[in-house]
Structure formats: structure tokens, C-alpha cells
Amino acid sequence: MPPPKNKFIRFNSIDIDNAFAKEAKLITQIKQDELNQCLMLWQAKTPTLVLPAGNKWPESEVLKQALAEQNWKVLSRQTGGAPVPQLPGIINLSHIYIWPKDTTYSTVIAYENLCTVLNDFFSQYGLESGAAATPFSYCDGDYNLNINGRKIVGTAQRVILKKGGRKIVLAQAFILIDVLLDELIKPVNLCYGILSKTPLVRASAHTCLFEHIQERPSIDTIYQQLTKAFLRNTYSVDSN
């Protein structure tokens, strides 16, 4: 019997609900031993504020209407954290894989593995990034990646149990490549205002790749560089 496959998928532009559906399908394929791991890279087609499903961040009609007036959609999904804005200029990375059988699962190690890959990616541009919380950033967390104290990547992690007790890890990153930061935070602060959440986020807490480099690589080139960073850091992801 051939060994489980590794897979690399990329979408230069995709509707967010479609991206989430493809992600769910990949998780199912790993559960069913059709895949061993997958690296999925994608960029949202339409500006959308993604809310964690639940009572803390309700997808109200008032919020939908207010966002629509600013040409933003809203979508809830089963995840933790806080609202995340998605639009062209942000690259999303989903690495879905089975945790090694002989290694005790560790949230910290899983995050550090992902951050190692992303630090390698930025080093290709001569940039030094590091993991830390970033006050006044959206969906703040200890494993943001920062450049000069400003958030350039948000990360998230989810664990799904596989039949037999093995763990499937969904490691995610949201990489700011080329966005107008003042526009990026508007839907987040609009949401916070409607739901009476504080503190508001600040554009100055964030940065994006194109602020730090002279060149303007294409999305395809960036996808290739991210994939190479995975391959250099013990990941084995085949393109097919």
C-alpha cells in the first residue's frame, strides 16, 4: 500500500466560504488517511470580516448592514480568537498535518514550528521577525510575528482528533503583504464599537511586507518562497 500523500494547493483569489470548505475537505481526507498533510495558500477575493462563531461575537443584522455600507462582508466560523479582516493583499496559510506518533503533542512546539518557517520566509528578504504579542493589533496573540514591534503575521491553531486517537493539527497564518493599514482596521473597530468591545485596534500596531522591501514579488513568487521555507524546515510538502 502506498504511503499517504502530501499535497500543496494554492488559490490566487477565492471566496472565503469556498476556502473554508476546501480546508474542511482536506481535514476529512486526512481523517480518512487519503492525505498525510497539506499546505494550502490562498488570498481572499472579497473584503470580509471573519468572526469567531459564538455569543461573544454575534453576526448581527446591525453589524452586517454597517459593514456592507463600507463594502465589507461578514462571515462566522468555528474558531477562537477575535475578528480577523480578510482582503486581497493578505496571504493565508493553512498547514494541516498529523502530529508525529511518537511525540507528545505540544501547542507551544506546534506554534514554534510554524513561526520557524515564517521567520525563514522573511529572512529571504533580509528581514528579521520574531514572535510576541502586539498590543492594539487585531486578534492579538503570543505567536504573532512582528517586525520592529509591529505585527505582520497573525497565527492560529486548532487540533482535531483522528480515529484511533491521533491528532490532526490545523496551523494557520495570516500574512500582511500589501494592504492599506488604515482601511484594514476599519471593519474591526466598527465591529468593536457595535459590540462595545475595547480597546480598539490601531493601524500603527501593524505593518506589511511591501513596506520593508523595494521589490514587489508576484503572489506566485511569494507562494513559491513560502513553500521553499517549509521544505527547508523539515516539512515535506509535494506539489500536485
Task: Provide the residue ranges of all domains of the chain, joining segments of one domain with +.
Answer: 5-229
Question: What is the per-residue pLDDT for 4?
Answer: 58
Mean residue pLDDT across the chain: 93
Tell me what pLDDT residue 163 has: 86
Q: pLDDT over 70 for what percent of the chain?
A: 95
**Any idea of the CA torsion for 121, 124, 125, 130, to the nearest 10 degrees?**
50
- 69 φ/ψ angles, rounded to the nearest 5 degrees: -65, -20
Say if residues 209 and 145 touch (Cβ distance below 8 Å). Answer: no
Site of grid cell 485596534: 201
Mean per-residue pLDDT, 154-178: 94
Model pTM? Answer: 0.93
The 10s digit of each residue's pLDDT in 115-145 is 999 999 999 999 999 999 999 999 999 999 9
User: Domain 5-229 is classified in which CATH homologous superfamily?
Assistant: Bira Bifunctional Protein; Domain 2 (3.30.930.10)
The pLDDT of residue 53: 85
pLDDT at residue 226 greater than cutoff 80: yes
- Give the per-residue pLDDT at 160: 93
Residue with cell 520557524: 116
Cα–Cα distance list, 152 to 9, 105, 201 (Å): 23, 27, 14
- Give the pLDDT confidence score for residue 236 in this predicted structure: 46
